[in-house]
């Protein structure tokens, strides 16, 4: 089995094998995946896990190269023209530690029936679609310790948080 062990980043490689990957596959350091022509290959990267980007070139020890292509996958897209409602929906998703991608008047998550119900209750326009999913990096996994200074306001006070508990509500 062909093993890709190094990521060169986005570089010219006209003869690279097409390697379509969904978000989960792009986020792992190791795993078996299939090329566009159906060949099973392994990704074994030694560096810390980070999302592979569209166009990244992976290299095998034998010299073969593969170009990462972001594969569309099933997602839920919720839309609203009201930024406060959209912020509330994003806050709910983040509070559930769900990966979230944001746009001007929309958010995308992986299908989740509970969050979809919340979105409907907020009167968001909710639809399932197949599209590329690239959630905000680290957002669902960041938990500052109570003694860590808040970098958002640079106050230097330990354990404070300048963000309101419900950012969609006016004071």
Burial of 157 (C-beta count, 10 Å sphere; 0-12/13-18/19+): exposed
Q: Which pTM was predicted?
A: 0.72
64 and 115 both lie in a single domain: no
Helices (H), 99-165: 113-121
79 and 146 both lie in a single domain: yes
**Domain residue limits at 153:** 72-171
114 and 132 both lie in a single domain: yes
| Total number of domains in the chain | 2
What tokens does 16 get? Answer: 């690279």
Per-residue pLDDT of the chain (171 residues; tens, 9 = 90+): 999 999 998 999 999 999 999 999 998 888 999 999 999 999 999 876 678 999 999 999 999 999 999 999 999 999 999 999 999 999 999 898 999 999 999 999 999 999 999 999 999 999 999 999 999 865 544 343 344 344 444 444 444 444 445 555 554
Question: What is the dihedral angle through the alpha carbons of 114, 117, 121, 124, rounded to the nearest 10 degrees?
Answer: 110
What tokens does 31 get? Answer: 């795993």
Looking at residue 140, which CATH number applies to its domain? 3.30.70.790
21 and 55 both lie in a single domain: yes
């Amino acid at each position: 089995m062909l093993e890709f062990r190094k990521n060169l980043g986005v570089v010219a490689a006209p003869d690279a094998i097409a390697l379509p990957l969904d978000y989960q596959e792009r986020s792992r350091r190791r795993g078996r995946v299939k090329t566009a022509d159906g060949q099973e290959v392994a990704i074994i990267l030694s560096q810390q896990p980070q999302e592979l980007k569209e166009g990244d070139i992976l290299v095998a020890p034998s010299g073969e190269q593969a170009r990462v292509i972001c594969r569309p996958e099933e997602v839920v897209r919720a839309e609203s023209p009201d930024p406060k409602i959209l912020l509330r929906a994003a806050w709910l998703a983040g509070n559930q530690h769900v990966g979230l991608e944001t746009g001007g008047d929309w958010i995308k998550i992986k299908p989740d029936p509970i969050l979809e119900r919340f979105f409907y209750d907020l009167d968001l326009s909710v639809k399932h679609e197949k599209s590329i999913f690239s959630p905000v990096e680290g957002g669902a996994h960041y938990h500052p310790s109570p003694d860590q200074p808040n970098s958002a306001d640079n106050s230097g006070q330990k354990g404070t948080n300048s963000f309101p508990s419900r950012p969609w509500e006016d004071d």
